[in-house]
Amino acid sequence: MHDDRQLIEERLKRALRERIRPAVYGAAVPLAIEVWHAPGEPVSPAEALAQTFEPAEIGLPWGPAWGTAWFKFSGQVPAEWAGSEIEAVIDLGFSGGPGFSCEGLVHTTSGVPLKGLHPRQTYAPLSILGPDGTAAQPGDQITFYVEGAANPEIPLDNAYAKVDIGAKRGETPIYQLTRADLAVFNADVWNLILDLESLDGLQKELSPQEPRRREILRALSRALDALDYENVAGTAADARAQLTDVLSRPAHASAHQLSAVGHAHIDSAWLWPLRETRRKVARTVSNVATLAEEYPELVFAFSQAQQHAWVKDNYPEVWERLKKAVAEGTIVPVGGMWVESDTNLPGGEALARQFVHGKRFFLDEYGIDTQEVWLPDSFGYTAALPQLVKLSGSKWFLTQKISWNKENRFPHHTFNWEGLDGTRIFTHFPPIDTYNSDLSGRELAHAQRNFQENGAATRSLVPFGYGDGGGGPTREFVATARRVANLESSPRVTIESPTEFFSAAEEEYAEHAPVWSGELYLEIHRATYTSQAKTKQGNRRSEHLLREAELWSAAAVVAGKLDAYPYADLDRIWKAVLLNQFHDILPGSSISWVHREAEATYARLAEELEAIIAKAQQALAGSGDAQIVFNAAPHTRGGVAGLGAGIAAGEGQAATIDGNVLDNGLIRVTVDERGLITSLYDVAADREVVAPGTAANLLQLHVDTPNHWDAWDVDSFYKNNVRDVTEVDSVDFSSVDGVATVVVKRSFNRSTVTQTLRLRPGTKRVDIETAMDWHESEKFLKAAYPVDVHADRSASETQFGHIFRPTHTNTSWDAAKFEIAAHRWVHVGEPGYGVAVVNDSTYGHDVNRTAREDGGTTTTIRTSLIRAPRFPDPKTDQGLHVVNHALVVGAGIPEAIEEGYRINLPERVVTGAEGVAPLFEVSNGNVIIEAVKLADDQSGDVVVRLYESTGGKSRATVTPGFAAASVTEVDLLERPLADRELADGGVAVALRPFQILTLRFKRA
């Protein structure tokens, strides 16, 4: 037989494009159109429908960027269409993909939302267009409204365009109303399209020699032969009949099993502001609820409690539909987090609260204790997650993003993920390599071939539906799932819930699944550790202010000096902080609008938290003239106990300046005429810390032009182009109140940097404040600290512990980690000696080592200070930024931990009468208190969360500073796990390395 594959495929392609798809709708009548253009931000349906609408027509320009127009459509359904399927077809001017251009939401005449509209879903069935969303009939007069959102198209194919899509409303309309009709829906034509596409997609994945491929091609050819192009609707059923045989053949016995889960990845903010996401969620939920009425087998996984809360707070009618769909099992809450958070950057307590607030919302509103953590799109996954997942009461984890790795293919799709402390959770990474699947033949075949566990396991999960900007599954997707449920040469596809998938996969494979230990490092998007510095700084500051607000408020209530604990305020503030930890906000990859709002939010929250802290501290200190120092850190400082307050003790020998040498008796620091640290001598260790021939605190400026994804990526070749910033405007030395200070001013390109170096009494560190007036484009500024330490690995603080990463590039896995995330500190050391760099608001670092001619090794820690990407915010980080670091010498990891807390929790001085005993004391310094608060149930119980910080087993006694009646070990949601015994007023604990322990004390 001659090879006519190309002939048939091209024939089919043209027939679909020019003949069949245009025949989906038959007879049509236009709808009458009226419009009201909202002058500012979106308004409620009630307010919109009360406006005066003006007559309009097809071709109407509408919608300046980010604007809103309300359309009123009305008309009479032709009586002669009785017996036909009838739909309203509305095209607002759709051009881009779903979620990335204009969108609409259909409402009743009373303003009740019914169904979303987007470029792949332009219809509203007659069954919802009657009064109050009921079914309309032929002959009826119908009226409905559409809220049109003029979200600008995003130039993702031109990510270097200097277009500020984050600016608010434009002036010029960017869309045109293209269609507004009532039309007859030709179901046979629509079904024919799906038959043809399903088979064509399948056959293209088969080898040319396979009989199945040739059989499908012959059937496709016969179907086209049976089709009359002048009467497509009338002959579509005949064409479908030619495909019955090839569509009805069952899958092979060994076919891969795919669990298809409806999904709509909705970024809580990204290339649109938060206010638009609220509307995206309402449109998507309305779509799903309407679709499920036609396709009852649909199961839709809906993550992010925040998005459920937005529906509850803003769309009461949609909320009722959502609750009903959840109760029926159509919509399944998943994830158990407040948002799909970044996991590299949030602090330990914040990441714990993502689970607390997320899971509690689902429990309170639906009575559902979610079991799977659903994070398909975050930019790498901290090794702290497995333990937090388990402590939240969940047991499974799903991600997809690791398929984006650039250097190394991740070796598993289903595995047990072992975290920092040894906790393991059953984890799945869908081999279909997308969280927005369309269930096409290409994608299904890829999932089956790509599955790393073939031969040992048989099933994987596929999230299907339009996403990123929402939209969700369409009727085409669900109908396709029916066709491929049991189809020869294709995987079997079953629509089911994530719980059903995980239960079956775990039963089949958990005992034999491979283990991956440590972080899931994403080999792309490393610049997200640095982009949008003010967002990151606001997050870090908020996390530590919340720690203080909870600690001091709890202490004041327990002491009887404050009437009420600010439960409601703290709950609201936590949720605002958690929202901004979404994986496109905190990482710095959203439009400028998003980051402007985040910055304003952090400023407002800081003001509120400062007021809460001040009120509690003043209540604790009382009235008097003494200077009471409050120490919220977990370590004693200046004679003041951790978590307590008192009169500070002396700090040690004053720091002096002799020429260009700063000296406090513990370390001597030499600063040269360039303002660089050329010597840092540890007196007690009799050791020079700065590597020979180098200088510390060296600013280095790189050209930063990644190949893709401006705000997200830094590519390894950035290191090839570096400029040492050594020129100075001035270097000034001074000493005041025992603090030796050097102020260094530099100018380069269009920017200036002022650094203030301080050596304080009694410390083995140099504090470095860096004020940057930054006006660069596509540049990356780092500060380098080359030290004379032989370290083959670095330690970086992560949530509730630290992880080690290599300083060498032995393997491609090692080399890929050329930029790493750390929280408050990075440490490098050799046996007996170490150095740490601590910070108050930065996250990106790189650590490397070089061999010297003298035979020694130089290990260099570099902190990433600031970037200047152009997309999606062309003005990223322009302006003034102030960050603080400290170079700590002679430090082990315990000292790094202590200094990390110190720089982030500065002491506060309150004028009062008395000190404050700590609410809790721990007998072992390796066991760190991370949070102290009153129980969320408002019982008055006191909760303390602590963790083992060094990576070794530790025993300790935890002693409350108040009379306790009992103590219980609890999970993150403060539910009991085990009774603990109080002995001599305290509780003995034995912690495994990096174990997190939460104790709940009932007051006597």
Indicate which residues carry an active-site annotation. Answer: 377
Rounded to whole angstroms, the Cα distance separating 680 from 690 reads 6
Task: Identify which of 852, 645, 650, 893 has the alpha carbon closest to the alpha carbon of residue 763.
Answer: 650
Q: To which residue do tokens 């603990």 refer?
A: 980
Which DSSP string do the residues of 680-704 spell out, in sequence order? EEETTTTEE-BPTT--BSEEEEEE-
Q: CA 130 to CA 133: how far, in whole Å?
A: 5
Q: Any residues with CB less than 8 A from the CB of 888 and at least 6 apart, and which? A: 764, 765, 835, 836, 837, 838, 895, 896, 899
Residues 6+ apart with CB under 8 A from 442: 201, 204, 205
The answer to whether residues 937 and 974 touch, using CB atoms and an 8 Å cutoff, is yes
Closest CA to 424 of 539, 516, 296, 540: 516
Joined tokens for residue 787: 């030290």
Return phi, psi of residue 587, to 5°: -70, -10
What does the block give as tokens for 513?
């699944």
Alpha carbon distance 887, 865 (integer Å): 15
The DSSP annotation for 10-78 comes to HHHHHHIIIIIGGGSEEEEEEPEEEEEEESSS---HHHHHTSPPEEE-TT-EEEETTEEEEEEEEEE--
Are the C-beta atoms of residues 998 and 958 closer than 8 Å to each other?
A: no
Q: Measuring CA to CA, how many Å separate 221 from each of 192, 202, 242, 248, 427?
A: 13, 15, 9, 17, 44
CA angle 232, 234, 237 (to 5 degrees): 90
Q: Which residues contact 139 (CB under 8 A, 6 or more apart)?
A: 76, 77, 78, 79, 82
Is residue 660 a contact partner of residue 674, using CB atoms and an 8 Å limit? no
For residue 471, what is the DSSP state? -
Distance in angstroms (rounded) separating the CA atoms of residues 447 and 435: 12
At 344, the amino acid letter reads: N
Smallest Cα–Cα separation from 645: which of 998, 895, 961?
961
Token output for 176 = 């045109």
Tokens 């609260």 correspond to 353
Quick one: how many helices (H) and strands (E) in the chain?
19, 53
CA 397-794-700 angle, to 5 degrees, is 110
Pair 885, 699: CB distance under 8 Å: no
What type of residue sits at position 432?
Answer: I
Asked if residue 713 lies in contact with residue 527, where contact means CB atoms within 8 angstroms, the answer is yes
Assess contact for 136 and 102: CB atoms under 8 A: no
